[in-house]
Amino acid sequence: MKVLYFDTLSLFYSNEYFQRNASVHAKYKEWFDTRKKTLFEMVVPDYQAIEKLRNASSEAGLLLSPLGAFYNRAYLIEHGVFSTDELAPDTELPCRMHMNDYDPVRRMIAHAYGLNAQWYVCGEIGSDERLQPYSGRYLRSEFGKGVTSELISQIRSLKSTE
C-alpha cells in the first residue's frame, strides 16, 4: 500500500487560491476571527486543487490521508471531500503514541507503520529537518501556492516506485 499524506490547510486554502478569490479570502478572515464553525463549513475549499490531488494520487496508485487530527478521514468523508476508496484506512496507532499527541509528523509515521505502507507527504508541514532521514518522501512545492503543476508531477512520478 502507498499513502500520500497531505496538509489540508496549505493545499485547499492556499495563498494562491485566496489571491484568485477575494470573497473566499474575506470569508476566511471572518472564520479566523470568529471560528464559530469549522473552516470547511464556513469557507469553500479549492475544489480544483482537491480534484487535481485526487486525480494525480489515483493515477499514481496512492491512497490519501490528511495530516492533523481535526480534518481527519471521517471528517473529509462526512463532508463529501473524498470517498472511502480514495483515503487510506484508519489503523490503531502504536501504544507508545499518547492519546493527546497531535504532532502530525509523529502521527503520520505511526499511521504508515501501522498500515505497513510506503508513504509520502506534501503540503506545508514545517518539518523539513524532521523528514531528512526519509529522503524522497517529502514532495515539496513553492510555499503558498497549494496544489501546483510541480507537485502534481512529483505525485505522478510515484507511479513507477515500488
Per-residue pLDDT at 68 exceeds 90: no
Q: What is the structure's pLDDT at 57?
A: 98
Q: Give 151 or 136, the one with higher predicted confidence.
A: 151
Q: How far is CA 113 from CA 3, 90, 91, 109, in A?
A: 11, 12, 9, 6
Q: How many domains does the structure of the chain reveal?
A: 1
pTM over 0.85: yes
Q: What is the structure's pLDDT at 98?
A: 59
Please give the order of strands across the beta sheet that includes 138-139: 63-66, 2-6, 118-122, 138-139
Cα 91 from chain centroid?
17
Look up the domain containing 110 and give its range. 2-160
Per-residue pLDDT at 19 exceeds 70: yes
Do strands 2-6 and 118-122 pair parallel, antiparallel, or not at all (unpaired)?
parallel
The helix (H) or strand (E) run that includes residue 37 is none
With cut-offs at 50, 70 and 90, classify the pLDDT of residue 94.
low
Q: What is the pLDDT of residues 145-156, one digit of tens each?
A: 999 999 999 999
